[in-house]
Amino acid sequence: MKDSTHDIPILAPAGRRFTGTDRRAPLRDGLQGCGEYGAGQTAGRFYPVACVALEVTQRCNLDCTLCYLSDRAEMTYDPPLSVLLARLVTIQSHYGEGVSVQLTGGDPTLRKVEDLEVLCREIRRFGMRSCLMTNGIRASRAFLTRLAAAGLDDVAFHVDMTQERSGFHSEVELNRVRRKYIDRAQGLGLRVLFNTTVFEGNVSDLPDLARFFRDQPEVAFVSFQMQADTGRGFLRARPDTITQDSVIRAVEAGYETPLHFDAAAVGHSRCNRYAGVLTAGGRAVSVLSNHHLVQRVIGALEQVEDGREAHLDIRASVLRLVLRRPLLALRAAAHLLACTLRLGTGLLRGRLRRQAIFIHNFMSADALEADRCASCVFMVATANGPLSMCVHNAERDRHLQASDRLDGPAGPQWWNAASRNLSDHADMPGLGDLDLAPIKRLKGQLKARHRNRKDAS
């Protein structure tokens, strides 16, 4: 199904404050509306959204061939801290405690570390989780140490061949960079995540890359993100050979075991596929192999949950499950024990760890699908509230130009990405004219076009 952007009636951000009573209801309604709220669905049932991106800058020190940023990204100003703090209040209003806030950009490490420390502290104070999304270049050990001390929970490194890092010719070679980044984060109490864009230039490397992730006990979460035709990046449409199924097969080849991406759902099945594994000593075993059991546990957790918080309190709910449904809890524990034993000699060689594997299928800017937009679990914080990430990426300039309004004792002030500072006037400047952009500010397809014009003349 292909809907044009104009046909979709749900493109507006969700507003600066949540006005309903059940924070999970909007996502649940969206999933129910498109038949995606089955027995394995966790979104809308246990949480109101998976994460919200807080873009702290549009600047980046790389120029990825599939970057989602706008052509005008390098012509914008960073949001003042007061704007970012106001957006955190909005995020908390919509999604409550427990939501994961992604400090992202651009690359967030281009901001002062002091700004990021303030944000980490504030996110912690609100009872939310923070995740630094970075290409890692400036995320030194000292930088991460400061953020960890300020309350940072997770660090997600984006490393792949779309970044054209000098001297690296394959994903396997890039594993040296990944390992260096893992070492930088080790011992700081941070959960380590990795993001990889899947495109024609690395699809044949996927099994080797997946095997690398399987064998890193420090890595808790691995995300494979399929090429999407959106943003300033030089590469455009995804080749037909890259599908959810082909990526699943490649990842399974790397983990050397079936991964059961269909047992538990995190949002729309055409957007996200999730698998969970136990790993030890170079072996992996899927923990979702028993669909029936997985879905019974999900149903039972829903029944025993008190539903007081926006996000499931997993520890308290599991405890209640043990008390109220002891036989089911026993079956689940026996299943996990059997999974662990199947790791065999791996248990002698390395630590037992859990790992989550995601495959994300972001939509192209000109092919948004209404049902997927309405049941999105990845939001971006805009001036006017959270908005689906794919919808946001399809019209980034429109949202960068929208003004944040801050109400203070001295009256309202406004800010948008075309202004360096807050203004007392609601009338904000427009984003710069691309034809007048200095060449050093061009990236992605515009930079390539400029180069081609120069070569031709």
By the criterion CB under 6 A, which residues form the site for ligand SF4? 60, 62-64, 67, 69, 105-107, 135, 158, 163
Least distance to ligand SF4, CB of residue 454, Å = 22
Helix axes 141-149, 113-125, angle to 10 degrees: 30
Among residues 18, 26, 38, the alpha carbon closest in space to that of 298 is found at: 38
Expressed in percent and rounded to 5, the helix, strand and coil fractions of the chain are: 40, 20, 45
* Nearer to ligand SF4 among residue 64 and residue 294 (C-beta): 64
What is the rounded CA–CA span in Å between residue 157 and residue 102?
A: 12
Q: What is the radius of gyration, based on Cα positions, of the chain?
A: 22
* Nearer to ligand SF4 among residue 69 and residue 128 (C-beta): 69
CB of 75 closer than 8 Å to CB of 47: no
Least distance to ligand SF4, CB of residue 160, Å = 9
* Nearer to ligand SF4 among residue 158 and residue 311 (C-beta): 158
Which token pair is 302?
A: 């829903």
CB of 163 closer than 8 Å to CB of 152: no
Least distance to ligand SF4, CB of residue 49, Å = 21
Least distance to ligand SF4, CB of residue 110, Å = 10
Least distance to ligand SF4, CB of residue 321, Å = 40
Least distance to ligand SF4, CB of residue 270, Å = 22
Least distance to ligand SF4, CB of residue 203, Å = 18
DSSP 306-371: ---SSS--HHHHHHHHHHH-HHHHHHHHHHHHHHHHHTTTHHHHS--EEEEEEEE-PPPTT---HH
Which token pair is 9?
A: 């009636």
Which token pair is 256?
A: 């050397």
Least distance to ligand SF4, CB of residue 329, Å = 42
Distance (Å) of CA 443 to CA 6, 64, 222: 28, 9, 28
What is the rounded CA–CA span in Å between residue 48 and residue 390?
A: 17
Which token pair is 432?
A: 């710069």
* Nearer to ligand SF4 among residue 244 and residue 393 (C-beta): 393
What is the rounded CA–CA span in Å between residue 127 and residue 148?
A: 16
Least distance to ligand SF4, CB of residue 50, Å = 19
């007048």: which residue's tokens? 436
What is the rounded CA–CA span in Å between residue 356 and residue 414?
A: 41
* Nearer to ligand SF4 among residue 62 and residue 293 (C-beta): 62
* Nearer to ligand SF4 among residue 69 and residue 431 (C-beta): 69
Distance (Å) of CA 34 to CA 306, 359, 367: 27, 20, 17
